[in-house]
Structure 1
Amino acid sequence: MGWKSSLIIIENKEDFTDESKILEALGKSEYEFDRELTLDECIYPNDKSINIGYYNGNIIISDDYQLTTNSLERADKLNLTEEEKKLVELFPISEIVTVACHSAINYHGYSLIENGIKKRLKIISSDEPRIEFGERIKEENEIYDKSYSKGNQNFWKDDDDPEEDFTEDQLMEDFTFGIAKRRLGVLLDHSDGDEIMEQVTFRKYKSPNQTSEVEESIKTDKKAKWIKYGIIILILIIWQILKRTVFKN
């Protein structure tokens, strides 16, 4: 299975449930409730939505790469982004884990915030230089301990084929879901994650302008088609006039 996901997992020490405050902190205060669904349906929504659920003492936000891109790929070392600062204001003593992956380029990234301080950030993919700040955390070390070094790179043996090696970007699921397990207690890509994937209710929020944007796109397409038809008709009219005048003489 090719995984695509981006999650923000917040330790929910005080049973916080005010989702309007969460949306406001994320800079999405205009988003409106759309419907209820499962994480399996919204782990990669591909619709620019924000999806919020609760599991094992955590708030889980599936954000469709809207925020994780800033928190990971566009991060300024271990400095907090504006959205992260707002989340820390809401949850000043909570642990916040951000994870994202995209199988098309073997991309995975994650960060860890503790007590308002970003302690760890790592990003790696098959076609970009790795980015890494802060000390490795326990969940990472458990994966790295199974590797061996060659030419300043880590490799992992393939259990099914001892002659083959895995590179770090190829262990996308191991790192992504291994780090998420730090808070969730389960691996989302294994059977122990079936409950949260299939049974926990998430609430989808979408921009009220999204529908109008789609409608505007449809109108633009229709307008372009009518312009094309109009040009064709005009050419035909001119051709008929030329046939009756210039060519006839």
Structure 2
Amino acid sequence: MGWKSSLIIIENKEDFTDESEILKALGKSEYEFDEELTLDECIYTNDKSINIGYYNGNIIISDDYQLTTNSLEIADKLKMTEEENRLVELFPTSEIVTVACHSAVNYHGYSVIENGIKKRLKIISSDEPRIEFGERIKEENEIYDKSYSKGNQNFWKDNDDPEKYFIEDQLMEDFTFGIAKRRLGVLLDHPEGDEIMEQVTFRKYKNPTQTSEVEESIKSNNKAKWIKYGIIILILIVWQILKRTAFKN
């Protein structure tokens, strides 16, 4: 299965449920409730929505790469983004785990904030070497301990074929969902994660202005499509007339 996902997982010590405040912290205060759905349906929506659910004492935000791009891919070392700082204001003593992955390039990245301080950040893909800051956490070490090093690279043996091996970016799911399990308690890509993926209710929030823009774009594309078809039909009609008149003579 191919994965494309980005999640912010917040330790919910006080059973916080004010989603308008969460949206405000994310810089999305204009977003409005759209519908209820499952994590399986909103883990990658590709519609610039914010999806919020609750599981195992955590707030889970599926952000459609709107925030994780800044906090992971183009992060300034362990410096926190504005959105992360605002989340810390809401949850000053909570652990905040952010994970993201994209199967097309084996990209995966994650960060850990503890007591208002970003302690760990790592990103890697098939196109880019590993970039990491801070001390590795327990869940990472459990994966790295199974590898062997050659030069500056880690390798993992293929249990099904001793002649083959994996490199770090190919363990995208192991790292992404292994780190997420730190808070969720389950692996999202295994049967143990079926409950959160398929049964937990998430609430989708969308920018109403963005929805209008998308609808207008669809209408515009449909109009252009019918104009194109009309021109083609007109050309065919003219061609048939020419065949019956000028070419016949």
Q: Shared fold by TM > 0.5?
A: yes
Which residue in 1 is equivalent to 2:243? Answer: none
Q: What residue in structure 2 maps to residue 179 of structure 1?
A: 179
Q: Deviations over 1:3-25 (max 9, x none)?
A: 11100000000000000000000
Q: Output one character per residue of 1:93-122: Cα deviation in whole Å (capped at 9) or x when no partner.
A: 000000000000000000000000000000
1:157 to 1:225, Cα distance in 2 relative to 1, 3 A: closer
Identify the range of structure 1 (39-48 vs 176-185) with the bigger mean alpha-carbon deviation: 39-48
Deviation of residue 226 (structure 1)? 7.8
Gaps of 5+ in 2: 239-249
Cα offset for 1:209?
Answer: 1.2
Change (3 A) 1:112 1:217: same
Q: Residue type matched to 2:53 in 1?
A: G
Please state whether the residue corresponding to 1:110 is helix, strand or coil: strand
Sequence identity of aligned pairs in percent?
A: 88
Question: Which secondary structure state, in structure 1, belongs to the residue aligned with residue 129 of structure 2?
Answer: coil
- The correspondence of residues 92-111 of structure 1 with structure 2, limited to 5 A, is 92-111=92-111
Identify which range, 219-228 or 131-140, moves more after superposition. 219-228
Take 2:215 and 2:41, find their aligned partners in 1: how far apart are those partners?
24
Q: Partner of 2:204 in structure 1?
A: 204
1:47 CA drift (Å): 1.3
Map of 2:72 onto structure 1: 72
Q: How far did 1:172 drift?
A: 0.2
CA 1:219–1:36: 2 relative to 1, 3 Å: closer
Residues matched between the structures, number: 237
Q: Which residue type is aligned with residue 139 of structure 1?
A: E
Cα offsets for 1:14-42 (capped at 9, x unmatched): 00000000000001111111111111111
Other-structure match for 1:130: 130
Question: What's the Cα RMSD here?
Answer: 2.0
Which stretch has the larger CA shift, 122-131 or 91-100?
A: 122-131
**1:47 aligned partner:** 47
Separation in structure 2 between the aligned mates of residue 193 and residue 222 of structure 1, nearest angstrom: 40
Q: CA deviation at 1:128?
A: 1.5
Moved more, 211-220 or 105-114: 211-220
Partner of 2:22: helix, strand, or coil? helix
Measured after TM superposition, the shift of residue 220 of structure 1 is: 3.3
Q: How many Å apart are 1:196 and its aligned residue?
A: 0.7
- Which secondary structure does the structure 1 equivalent of 2:174 belong to? helix
CA distance in 2, matches of 1:223, 1:55: 44
> What is the rounded CA distance, in whole Å, between the counterparts of 2:221 and 2:43 in structure 1?
31
**d(CA) in 2 for partners of 1:210, 1:150:** 49
Query: TM-score, structure 1 length as denominator?
Result: 0.89
Corresponding residue for residue 38 of structure 1: 38
Quick one: distance in 2 between partners of 1:190 and 1:226?
46
Q: How far apart in 1 are the matches of 2:31 and 2:25?
A: 12
1:132 is matched by which residue type in structure 2? E
Report SS of the residue matched to 1:162.
strand
Q: Which runs of 5 or more residues in structure 1 are unaligned?
A: 238-249
- For residues 74 and 26 of structure 1, what CA distance do their matches in structure 2 show? 17
- How far apart are 1:212 and its partner, in Å? 1.2
C-alpha deviation, 1:210, in angstroms: 2.5
- CA distance change for structure 1 residues 106 and 185 in 2, over 3 Å: closer, same or farther? same
